[in-house]
Amino acid sequence: MDKLVIRGGTPLAGELTVSGAKNSVLPILAAALLAAAPVRIHNVPRLRDVTTMIALLRNLGADVAGEDTTVEVTQSGVSRFRAPYELVKTMRASFLLMGPLLARFGRAEVSLPGGCAIGPRPVDQHLKGFEALGAQVELEDGYVKARAPRGLRGCRIVLDVPTVGGTENLLMAATLARGTTRIENAAREPEIVDLATCLAAMGARIHGHGTPVIEIEGIPALRGCQHRVMPDRVEAGTYLIAAAATRGNVRLLNGQPSSLRAVLEKLADAGAAIETEPARIALDMHGERPKAVDIETAPYPGFPTDMQAQFLAMNTVARGTSRVVETIFENRFMHLNELSRLGADARLEGKRTAVVRGVARLRGAPVMATDLRASFGLVVGALVARGATAIDRIYHIDRGYEGIERKLAALGADVRRVSGDRATP
Ligand code: EPZ
C-alpha cells in the first residue's frame, strides 16, 4: 500500500494548474448515457474515481475511449442495466447512474451505496424523486431496482435537504420525462450548473440551475455533444489553504474564483493577500503565520464541507483559537486524532464542533488517511510539521487529487511516494 512521505517546513511557492472537477466529471460521465450519440468530455482529471466510473460504464456495455484528458462515451452498446456492488462499494457517486439508466432505458439496478467513512449518507431523497417521476422502486438483495417501462413523467419534487447527488440524479432523469419537472430546494453547487450546461449541450431544456428551483422540460431524445469540465474548486481551495498554512505564495491557473468566494473570504480573514482574475487566483501570506478563523460548513454558497479538514489543519498552526462547525455530515472529524499525533491541540465539543487552539509548530509522525478530504488535512499538517510525516493509506487521496506528489513538488514541497519499502520518484 502506498504511503506519502513529507518533510515539512518549506513554504509552498510557485504556480499550479488546477485539474478538472471530480465532482463534476462523475455526474457528467453518467449523463453521457442519456444521449443518443457519442459524448466527448474534455478536461477530465486522471483520478481513481474517474477510472471507477468508466469501469461502471463499460460494465453496462458502453464504449469509453480516451486519450490524455479527453474521454468519449458511446452508448449504443449498452445492454446491461446493473451497477454491481463490487464497483459501487468503492464509490458512492456510482448511484448517479440510476437517473440516466432509468430515463433512457426504463430500468436500473444499482447496489445501495450504504454508509461510509464520513457517516451515514442515505439516498431517500433520490428514491422519493424517482417515485414521483413515476418509477417503481424496490429494495432487493442490497440493490435499488427501479423500473419505468412506459417512461418517466414530469412532476413537482420538493427535496427535504438540498442534496447534491439527489439534485443531479433527478435533473438527469427529468430531461427525458414526458412534461415538465420542477425540483424545489435543489442544491446550488457549481457542479450542478456544470452538469446542466452539459445536458443543455445535448439539447435538454433546463432553467434555474444554480438556484433552489430547477425546471426541466422533458424531450424525447438527447443528442451527442462536447463539454469541457469546470476546474476543481475543491482542489484549488485545498492548495490555497495548504499554501496559507505554510506561509507560502502560490498562483493557481485554470481556477474559478467565482466558485470559491466563501473560502477566499476566510483565507483573507486568516491574513492572506488574495488577487483574482476570471481564471487565476494568487495567494500570498508574506511569510506570516495565519490567524485562526472560525468556519461553519453549509451548502453552496456557504463554506464547503469538502474543505473543512484542510482549513481545520491550517487552524492547528494559526495564531489564536478557532471553532470549526460541521453541519453537513456526521463523523467528518476523523482527521482530529491523526492531527493530534502531529502535536495539534484540537478537541471535539459535542459531535459537530471542533475547538482548535493554534500551536507554534507540529512535529512529523506516522499518520493514517481515513477519507479523501481528511487525508489532505493530514498533508497540510505534514507540510507545516518539523521532520518527516509518513501518511499511510493514501489511496484515499488518489481518489480525488490528481498527481498529488507532482503538484506538491512543483510548489517546492519535499514529498515522495513510497510503495512498500520502495521509494518512487
Ligand atoms: C456530494 O456528495 C459530493 N460528492 C461530496 O464530496 C460533498 O461532500 C457533498 O456533495 C456535499 O457537498 C460528489 O459530488 C460526488 P449530499 P453527496 O447528497 O451528493 C443528506 C468529496 O470529498 N442526504 O449533498 O453524496 C446527507 O446525508 C465528496 O469529494 C439525505 O439525507 O452529498 C448529507 O447529510 C465527499 N438524503 C446531506 O444530505 C439523501 O437522499 C448532503 O449530502 C441524500 C442526502
pLDDT in tens, 165-199: 999 999 999 999 999 999 999 999 999 999 999 99
How many A from CA of 165 to the centre of ligand 1?
6
Q: Is the pTM of this model over 0.95?
A: yes
Residue (of 16, 12, 8, 18) closest to 412 by Cα position: 12
Weakest mean pLDDT among 242-246, 262-266, 295-299, 332-336: 332-336
How many A from CA of 126 to the centre of ligand 1?
11
Cell of 48: 481513481
- pLDDT tens digits, 54-108: 999 999 999 999 988 999 999 999 999 999 999 999 899 999 999 999 999 999 9
116: annotated active-site residue: yes
Q: Going by CA atoms, what residue is nearest to atom 4 of ligand 1?
A: 23
How many A from CA of 141 to the centre of ligand 1?
24
Q: What is the DSSP string of 192-260?
A: HHHHHHHHHHTT-EEE-TTSSEEEEE--S-B--EEEEPPB-HHHHHHHHHHHHHTT-EEEEES--GGGG
Q: Going by CA atoms, what residue is nearest to atom 6 of ligand 1?
A: 306
Number of separate helices (H) and strands (E) present in the chain:
14, 25
Of these residues, 116, 155, 198, 225, which one is catalytic? Answer: 116
Find all residues with CB under 8 Å of 137, minimum gap 6, and list them. 127, 130, 131, 144, 145, 146
Q: Going by CA atoms, what residue is nearest to atom 5 of ligand 1?
A: 306
Measured from CB, residues less than 6 Å from any atom of ligand 1 are 23, 26, 92-93, 121-126, 161, 163-166, 187, 305-306, 328-329, 372-373, 400
